[in-house]
A and B are shown apart, each in its own frame.
Chain A
Amino acid sequence: MTPHYFLFLAFLLFGVGFLGVVIRRNLLIVLMSLELMLNGVNIALVTFSRVGLNLDGSLFVFFIMTVAAAEVAVGLALLVALYKKRQSIFSEDATLLRN
C-alpha cells in the first residue's frame, strides 16, 4: 500500500479547510472548515499509524475527534450567542475591539 495518496488527500482536506477559514465570512462555514482541517490531520495520523505499524497515531485520532466534538459544541453555542446579540454571524460585523 502506498501512503502517498492518503497523505495527498489529507493535505488537500487541510488546504481546503485552511482556505475556508481564511476566505469565508460566515462563521458557521469557518467552523466547518476548521473541522475539515482537523479531519485532514486525522487522516494523516491514521496513515502514519498504518505505515509505522503501531497504534500511536490511531490513538491520537480518538482524542482529536473527542476534542473536536467538544469544540464544535462550544463553537456553535458561541455562534448562537453571537447571533442573539448581533443578529449576524458574519465575521466583519464583530468589530468591537477594532478602533
Chain B
Amino acid sequence: MQPYYETEGMESVILSVLLLPLLSSVVTLLFLRKNGNVASLLSVATSGGILVFSLYIIFQTGDTVFAWEMTWLKLAGWELKFGFLIDGAARLLLFVVSFIGFLIHIFSLGYMHDDKAKPRYFGGLSIFMFSMLGITLADNLIMIFVFWELVGFSSYLLIAHYFSTDEAAQASKKAFIVNRVGDFGFLIGIVLTYWTFQTVNLQEIRNLVDFDPSLVTTTLCLALACGFIGKSAQFPLHVWLPDAMAGPTPVSALIHAATMVAAGIYLLFRIDFMFTVDALSLLATLGATMGLFAGFCALGQRDIKKILAYSTLSQLGYMSAAFGLGMPGIALFHLMTHAFFKALMFLGSGSVIHACHHEQDIFNYGGLRKKMPITALTFLTGVLAISGVNFLSGYFSKDAILLGAYNSNMIVFVLLYTGALLTSLYMFRLYFLTFEGDSRSKSAKDATESSVLMTGPLLVLAFLSVVGGYHTLFPDPIVGVLLDDISRVAAMPNHLWMVVLGTLAWIIGGGTSKLFYGRAFNGEPLEARFPTLYDLCKSKLFFDEIYGFYVSKIQDPFARFIEVMELLFISGLLVRGSAGVSALFALLAKACYAGKIHAYSFWFILGIISFVAYAIGFLGN
C-alpha cells in the first residue's frame, strides 16, 4: 500500500478544482446568456484554472494516496459520504481531462467563433468539466454514479447543441436513453455492492475484498460493468456513439472520444479488485469483438466523424480487452495515448469541417493537404499513431495489449489483430480520401487553413501523439500507476515476433488503402470491387434495425398491453370502480333528501319504529 498524503488543506484545493467549472457554468447560464464572447473567455479561463489546480494536486500528492471525506446526507443509521480519493489512476485521468479539456476549450474558441449560441455551448462544456472531474475524484460508488449521470446529462446538452436539426435532437435522445439502460445495471450493481459490503467506499471495499475474496460474485461485477458498457458504448449498447456525432466537433473530441467514454475504463480500473475471472474473460471477449466489429463498420462509413466514432468504439474495445486480460494498467495507458491521438484527429476533422463549411462526407473532400498543410500533417500524425506505426504513441500501448493477448488468449489476439489491420485500413482510407488526390467539391476547393486557435492545439496534440508512448518522459505522479503493468508486459516473451506482426499490420492496412484510394477513382472503390463486403460494413450488422424492430414490434405492443391493463384494472376497476360505488350510495342517499316535510316526517317516524322494533327484539337479536 502506498503511503498516505498527510498535509492539511489539500481538500480545499480539490474542492476548488471541482467547483470552479460549476461556478463558471452557473455564471454563464445566469448572467452571460447574451454575451457569447465573455462567456467563452470565462470558460477557457476556467479550464486553464482547472489545469493549473490539477497540476498542483498531481505534483503535490506525488506518489502518495490522498483520501478525504465528509458526511453529505444522514438518514437514520445510514450515511452518504462525499469524498475524494486521489491515487495514481485519478492523477492520470485528472491530467488527461484537464489537459485535453484545456486544449479543446481553446480549439472551441476558433471552431465556434461564429456560432449564435456560444454561451449555451461553453456553459455546457463547463458543466461537463465539473461532472467529469467529479467522476475522477470521487471516492465512493454513489458519488461516482451521481457524476456519472451528470456527464450523461451534459453530453445530452452538448449533442443537442444544434437542436433545430432533427438529427441532433434524435441523437441526443438516443444517447441519453441508451445510457439509461446501462446505468440501470450500474445502479443495481451499486445496490448489490452495498448489500454485500455494507459500504460503497472504494477503499473500504478493497480492504474487505482483500480480507475475504469470496465476497465478490460474477453477477455483482457484471452489474457494475453495465455502467461501463453504457458509457463507453460497448456491445450491445454501442449504437448511441456514432449518432452522438451530431454535436459540435470539439464536443465529439472531448466527450465522445477522449474523456467521457474513457470514464468507463477508469471506472473498471477503480473497481478492478471486484472482478472475477469469468467476468474478466467475458469483458475481454466482448472488447475484442467490439474492436473488430467497429472496424468493419468504420470501413463502410462516409461521414468523417462517424468513421472516427467507430474507431473510438474499436479502441475502447481494445481497452476493455486489455482490462479483461488482467492488465488494467495497460488499459489506462491506452486510454491516455488514445486520448491524445483521438482528440487530435477529431480536432483535425473539426478543422476540416470548419474549413469546408460543415461538409462532412469524405467523398466531397480531397486534396486538402495543399490547402491545409498543418491540419493535414497533424492529422497524418494521428493516423500513424492509431495505426500503431513503430515508435509513435499508439504503437506502445496497442502492441502492449496485443502482446498480452498473444501470450494469454489466442482468440482475443486474433480478433484484436484483425481489428488492428482494419484500423490502419480505414484510417488511411480516411486520410487519403480527405487530404490526397483532387478536390471533389466546391467547398473543398475553397478551403483554407484554420486560425492559430485551432492549429495550436493540433500541434500540441500531435507532439503528444508522437512521444506520448514513452512513459518515462512523463513525470512519475502521472504515470506511476502504469509502471507495474508495463514492466509486466515488458517481461513477456515473443517481443520480436510482435514487433514484426504489428509493423506488418499497419503496412498491410496502409498499403491496401493506398491501393484502393491513393489514385483516381469513380465512386467508392471498395463498393465497386467487393459490393457484398461493403454493404455488410455499411449496414453496421443491422443493430439499429434490430433495436428499432424490438422497440416497435415487441416493446411498443407490450407497453400498449400494459396500458390497456392499466385502463381496465387500475384506472377502470380500482379508481373509477371505487368512486362509482360511493357515487351509487350517494345517489341513494340523495333520493331521501326530497326537500318535502312529508318525506322527512315519514322517514323520521319509520326510523323511530325501526329503532323501537330493534329495542324490543323484533329484528332477531
Residue of chain B at shortest CB distance from A23: B598
Contact with A along B403-433 (1 / 0, CB 8 A): 0000000000000000000000000000000
A-B contacts, 5 of them at CB < 8 A, read A21-B598, A22-B601, A23-B598, A91-B596, A97-B595
Which residues of chain B have C-beta atoms less than 8 A from A99's C-beta? 595
Tell me if A95 and B598 are in contact (CB < 8 A): no
B595 and A21 form a contact (CB under 8 A): no
Specify which chain B residues have a CB less than 8 angstroms from the CB of A91 in the assembled complex.
596-598
Chain B residues at the A interface, C-beta cutoff of 8 Å? 595-598, 601-602, 605
Q: Are A95 and B595 interface neighbours, CB within 8 A? A: yes
- Is A92 a contact of B596 with CB atoms below 8 Å? yes
Residue-wise, chain A 44-58 has the 8 Å CB interface mask toward B (1 for contact) of 000000000000000
**In the bound complex, do residue B598 and residue A98 qualify as a contact, i.e. CB atoms below 8 Å apart?**
no
A18 part of interface (Cβ distance < 8 Å): yes
Q: Is the CB of A21 within 8 A of B601?
A: yes
A30 (CB) vs chain B CBs: closest residue:
B597
- Tell me the interface secondary structure of chain B in the complex: helix
Contact of B605 among A18, A92, A95 (CB under 8 A): A18
Number of A residues whose C-beta is below 8 Å from B? 13
A99 to B595, CA, bound (A): 9
Q: 6 tightest A-B contacts by CB?
A: A98-B595, A91-B597, A22-B602, A22-B598, A21-B601, A22-B601
CB contacts under 8 Å to B, within A11-62, are 18, 21-23, 25, 30
Cβ–Cβ < 8 Å partners of A98 in chain B: 595
Q: A94: which B residues are within 8 A, CB to CB?
A: 597
Chain A nearest Cβ from B273, distance in angstroms: 78
Q: Which partner residue on chain B sits nearest A14 by CB separation?
A: B605
The chain A residue with its CB closest to the CB of B599 is A22
Q: How far is the CA of A39 from the CA of B597 in the complex (A)?
A: 22
Q: Taking the nearest CB of chain A, how far is it from the CB of B473, in angstroms?
A: 94
A18 to B608, CA, bound (A): 13
Note all chain A residues with C-beta closer than 8 A to B601: 21-22
The distance from the CB of B462 to the nearest CB of chain A, in whole angstroms, is 88
- In the complex, what residue of chain A is closest to B595 when comparing beta carbons? A98
Residue of A nearest to B598 (CB): A22
Q: Give 16 new A-B contacts, CB below 8 A, not counting A18-B605, A95-B595.
A: A21-B598, A21-B601, A22-B598, A22-B601, A22-B602, A23-B598, A25-B598, A30-B597, A91-B596, A91-B597, A91-B598, A92-B596, A94-B597, A97-B595, A98-B595, A99-B595
A95 contact set on B, CB distance < 8 A: 595
Q: What B residues does A18 contact at CB under 8 A?
A: 605
Q: Cα distance A97–B598 when bound, in Å?
A: 15
Chain A residues positioned under 8 Å from B602 (CB to CB): 22
The docked-state distance in angstroms from the alpha carbon of A12 to that of B551 is 81
A37 nearest in chain B by CB position:
B605
CB distance from B592 to the nearest CB of A (A): 13
Residues of chain A within 8 A (CB-CB) of B598 are 21-23, 25, 91
- The residues of A that contact B605 with a CB separation of less than 8 Å are 18
Q: Tell me the minimal C-beta distance from A40 to chain B in angstroms.
A: 13
Question: CB-CB < 8 A to B595: which residues of A?
Answer: 95, 97-99
Chain B residue at smallest Cβ distance from A92: B596
Interchain CA distance A90-B601 in the complex, whole Å = 16
